[in-house]
Amino acid sequence: MKEFFSNLDLKGWLIVILAGITIILFTYVLMSPTGWRKKIREYEKINKELQEKRDSLDRVNNELKKLAVEDSLRIVMFQQRVDSVNKIIKIKDVEIKKLKKDAAEAEEIMRKTKEKIEELTNNPIKRTGSDLIESIKQKTK
């Protein structure tokens, strides 16, 4: 080693000194906590937090999708029930109209019958002679 350093000229000494300074600066940069390293750590921490939030939002989104599918199935089921109830209502409306018509007809027949009864009660049929005999024969048959 002694021979190596003794044989160096000015140019060689400058190279050795520059190499030493470079090694010292390089180790200082690697060993010392610099601002950019802290920023990298902060950004890695922020990145990790964002990934966790993203993952939790993905889980929530998947749950909401499942709920949306279930709700759409329920909507279809309830719509079918509503449709069947609407069909029943239409059928019952037709039946009610028919029953109202039948009731109106029955009331009209009853009114006419009452009028005939009152007319016969107030003005009974008076038969005499052969009409009376024919009427009696008809009723006794």
pLDDT digits (tens, 9 = 90+) for 61-104: 999 999 999 999 999 999 999 999 999 999 999 999 999 999 99
pLDDT digits (tens, 9 = 90+) for 128-139: 778 778 877 877
| Tokens read off for 45 | 């921490």
Q: Kindly state whether residue 132 falls inside one of the protein's structural domains.
A: no
CB 125 within 8 A of CB 134: no
CB 77 within 8 A of CB 70: no
Q: Kindly state whether residue 71 falls inside one of the protein's structural domains.
A: yes
State the total domains in the chain.
2
When mean pLDDT is compared over 8-22, 67-81, 108-122, the highest value belongs to: 67-81
Same domain (yes/no): 89, 108:
yes
Same domain (yes/no): 50, 8:
no
**Integer Cα distance of 24 and 21 in angstroms:** 5
With a threshold of 0.95, does the pTM exceed it?
no
